[in-house]
């Protein structure tokens, strides 16, 4: 649903090699995205290393639903757990699942897209057909159904999300490869007797890294949202591990008495998604100057 809102108009078209860091730093939205995701990444890493004010799972019945203060920066939840530590751990968990999911989607999708675009013929038809089938499911519904089919653990949740985003990588990479395969140096490489596999690796793949990087950033933001929606439904990050989605679910009945229980995970989730979106937009503008200011 809305989580996957910009799939159709997100696909970048004319993007070259590499990451132009300087261009990214010059665009205000890219800079903002970099700062937001950077801070959240540091917090998540600290959480993974255990550098937190409290154990995110430690319950304390004597200090339930405490408002934010010096002892608990973001307050405590209904079990007396420290919300700051839980939110940080939630970011780490969501990010972990999102990274695995997008990693899998990128690998499978890019291989599929490059092969389909470069080889054409039967593989192209087959890969396109599978893509069309997957596109026929509304994304969140597909992720929900898959997540409910598997026995739940980190990896299956990530795979359920990955299946949804793989066809997007296929679509985004296939188009440029169609153009690339007709370019002179590819023809030249073929004339020198280079095999199809090595041409794809040496000449085609490096030319679509820009597109892939942009797509990875945007997909990460959708994957974070999907994971949060799954966790909200109790189908995401397995408990007792903290997750932004399940924290929001738990807070929904408490919001009138203890608004901070919803505020912290909600705000951080929005920040994470917006940060990744800004970063993706900034990267796209930096990689394709003709789009600057138009998006």
Partner 1 sequence: MTSFLRHALVRRVGGALLTLVGVAIAVFIMLRAIPGDQVTAQFGTEAAALTAEQRAALESYYGLDQPLIVQFFTWIGSVLTGNLGFSARSQQSVLDMTLAALPVTLELAVLSIVLAFVIGVPLGMLAASRPNALRDWVSQGVGLAGLGVPAFLLATTLLAIAASEFGFNPNGRGYAPLHVDPLLNLQQMLLPALVLGFGIAAPIMRTTRTAVLEVRSLDFVRTARAKGVPPRRLQVHHILRNALVPIVTISGLQFGYLLGGAVVVEQIFSLPGIGRQVLLGINQKEYAVVQSTVLVIALLFVIVNLLTDLLYRRIDPRVRAE
Please choose, from the candidates 244, 229, 256, 223, the residue with its C-alpha nearest in 3D space to the C-alpha of residue 83: 244
Q: Considering the complex, what minimum distance in angstroms separates the CB of residue 230 from partner 1?
A: 9
Residue 207 or 246 with smaller CB distance to partner 1: 246
Residue 27 or 66 with smaller CB distance to partner 1: 27
Q: Considering the complex, what minimum distance in angstroms separates the CB of residue 243 from partner 1?
A: 13
Q: Considering the complex, what minimum distance in angstroms separates the CB of residue 148 from partner 1?
A: 4
The radius of gyration of the chain from alpha carbons, rounded to an integer in Å, stands at 21
The DSSP code for 60 is: -
Measured in Å, how far apart are the chain's first and last C-alpha atoms? Answer: 21
Query: What residues form DSSP beta bridges with 76?
Result: 82
Residue 54 or 265 with smaller CB distance to partner 1: 265
Q: Considering the complex, what minimum distance in angstroms separates the CB of residue 242 from partner 1?
A: 16
* CA gap 69, 72 in Å, rounded: 5
Residue 151 or 192 with smaller CB distance to partner 1: 151
Residue 57 or 123 with smaller CB distance to partner 1: 123
Please choose, from the candidates 74, 97, 98, the residue with its C-alpha nearest in 3D space to the C-alpha of residue 85: 74
Alpha-carbon separation of residue 59 from 76, 83, 251 (angstroms): 10, 11, 16
Q: Site residues (CB under 8 A) for partner 1? A: 1-9, 129-130, 132-134, 136-141, 144-146, 148-149, 151, 221, 225, 228-229, 232-233, 245, 248-249, 251-252, 255-256, 262, 266, 269-271, 273-274, 277-278, 293-295
């Amino acid at each position: 649903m809305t989580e996957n809102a910009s799939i159709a108009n997100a696909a970048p078209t004319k993007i070259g090699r590499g990451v132009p860091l300087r261009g990214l730093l010059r665009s205000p939205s890219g800079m903002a995205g970099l700062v937001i995701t950077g801070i959240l990444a540091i917090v998540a890493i600290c959480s993974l290393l255990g550098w937190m004010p409290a154990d995110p799972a430690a319950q304390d019945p004597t200090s339930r639903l405490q408002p934010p203060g010096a002892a608990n920066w973001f307050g405590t939840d209904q079990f007396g757990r420290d919300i700051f530590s839980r939110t940080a751990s939630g970011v780490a968990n969501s990010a972990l699942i999102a990274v695995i999911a997008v990693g899998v989607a990128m690998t499978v999708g890019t291989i599929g897209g490059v092969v389909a675009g470069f080889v054409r013929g039967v593989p192209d038809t087959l890969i396109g057909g599978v893509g069309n089938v997957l596109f026929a499911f509304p994304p969140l519904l597909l992720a929900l159904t898959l997540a409910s089919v598997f026995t739940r653990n980190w990896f299956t949740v990530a795979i359920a999300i990955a299946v949804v985003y793989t066809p997007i990588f296929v679509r985004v990479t296939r188009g440029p490869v169609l153009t690339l395969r007709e370019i002179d140096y590819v023809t030249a490489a073929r004339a020198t007797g280079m095999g199809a596999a090595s041409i794809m690796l040496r000449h085609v793949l490096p030319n679509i890294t820009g597109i892939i990087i942009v797509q990875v950033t945007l997909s990460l933001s959708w994957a974070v949202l999907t994971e949060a929606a799954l966790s909200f439904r109790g189908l995401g990050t397995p408990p007792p591990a903290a997750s932004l989605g399940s924290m929001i679910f738990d807070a929904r009945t408490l919001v009138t008495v203890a608004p901070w229980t919803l505020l912290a995970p909600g705000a951080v989730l929005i920040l994470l998604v917006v940060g990744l979106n800004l970063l993706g937009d900034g990267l796209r503008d930096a990689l394709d100057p003709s789009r600057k200011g138009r998006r």
